Amino acid sequence: MIIQLIVTGISLGVVYGLIGMGMVLIFRAVGIVNFAQGDFLMLGAFICFAFNQKMGMPIWLSFAITAVLIGLSGIVFQYITYWPLRNAQDKAIIVSTLGASIALREMTKLVWGSTPQTIDPLKGGIVKIAGAFLQWQYVIIIIFAALLMSLVYFLLEKTLLGNIMQATAQDKYAASLMGIPIAVAIALTFFISMLITGAGGVMLAPIFFITNTMGVLAGVKAFAAVVIGGFGSVQGAIIGGLLIGLIEVFAGTYISTTYKDTVVFAVLIISLLVRPQGLFGEKIAEKA
């Protein structure tokens, strides 16, 4: 029993971590918090639903196409909400992403209706690991999310592309002087961020129902993961995500199903009070 809970918690956690990672990438690149991140998760789930259930494509193919499509939509999103406002106040950009969030939710409702939908899990059936019977899909989610995370991490840390993106994130002006096309680097950041978020949506879809509001709570939880982990830290987002996933599952089992989200957010507020800079965040320097 306990192993099942842990595996379920971790699998939820890695997905939250994945979305959180997407948020961190955008935050590091352009310094804004994207309030529509969760809605791209929802969009991913719906698009995969369209390919898988409506058009009858196999789940893996739907998954791949969806991820790329969501990534591309991230670029479009960036050109609408961020690029025209890049010199405006932060609050204008935040509200603009909020507008995008509302628009995406309504658009999906108009296209796919408001009845909850489901898709196939990435892999069905049961597997026996260490004497415990586990659902394959949870195991697959963990493996796959971990794979995606390492891939993004490798891309950021070890490749030229990653260096370009990081240089842009650190100092746009200096980067532009060095001949880095900032617009491309930022577009690329949004592409990757949304791609992993959309993938997260496809992974979560078989566990929760697909509705046009599924992204709200998942997005907020991913942000909670980012905050607990320390804002701007990729490792922090992953660890924070795991914590949130585990707390959610254990609170749901041992405290109360109805209050599991309440517990999650209570933990967030407490952690903010105890350690506002998060687990991996640097202490905000006195001399700013």
Partner 1 sequence: MGRINRKNLVLLFLGVLVLALLINLPNTSSIYMVRVLNMTMITYLAVLSLYVVFGMAGQSSFAQCGLMGIGAYITANVSTRWGYPPILGMAASMLGTALFAFIIGFALFRLRRFYFSFSTIALMTILNGIFANWTKGTGGPVGMGNLVQFSVGNFIFNTEAKYYYLILGFSIAASIIIWKLFRSPLGRSFMAVRDNETAASCMGVNILLTKNIAFAISGLLCGLAGSLFAFLSGYISATSFALPQSQLYLVVIMIGGSSSPIGALIGSILINLLPEWLRFLKDYMMLIYGVGIMGLMIVLPEGLVGGGKDLYAKLIKWKRSRADAEQGL
Could you tell me where the DSSP H helices lie in 117-233? 136-158, 160-170, 172-177, 182-204, 214-229
Q: Which is nearer to partner 1, 177 or 274 (CB)?
A: 274
Residues found near partner 1 in the complex (CB under 8 A): 33, 35, 80-81, 84-85, 88-96, 98-107, 110, 213, 216-217, 220, 223-224, 227, 231, 256, 258-259, 261-262, 265-266, 268-269, 272-273, 276
Q: Which is nearer to partner 1, 104 or 199 (CB)?
A: 104
CB of 276 to partner 1, least distance (A): 6
Beta partners for residue 135, in sequence order? 126
Element (H, E) at 128: strand 126-129
| Cα 169 to Cα 189: distance, rounded to the nearest angstrom | 9
CB of 119 to partner 1, least distance (A): 24
| Cα 188 to Cα 42: distance, rounded to the nearest angstrom | 21
Q: Which is nearer to partner 1, 155 or 272 (CB)?
A: 272
Whether the CB-CB separation of 16 and 82 falls below 8 Å is answered with no
Whether the CB-CB separation of 46 and 210 falls below 8 Å is answered with yes
CB of 148 to partner 1, least distance (A): 24
Residue type, 126: I
Distances (CA, A) of 155 to 19, 48, 192, 207: 17, 25, 10, 29
Beta partners for residue 210, in sequence order? 117
CB of 15 to partner 1, least distance (A): 18
CB of 279 to partner 1, least distance (A): 14
Assigned token pair, 37 = 């991140």
Q: Which is nearer to partner 1, 103 or 155 (CB)?
A: 103
Q: Which is nearer to partner 1, 33 or 139 (CB)?
A: 33
CB of 227 to partner 1, least distance (A): 6
CA 216 to chain centre: 11
Half-sphere exposure of 79 (CA within 13 A, CB side): 9
| Phi, psi torsion values for 127, nearest 5 degrees | -130, 145
Q: Which is nearer to partner 1, 174 or 266 (CB)?
A: 266
CB of 153 to partner 1, least distance (A): 24
Q: Which is nearer to partner 1, 75 or 127 (CB)?
A: 75
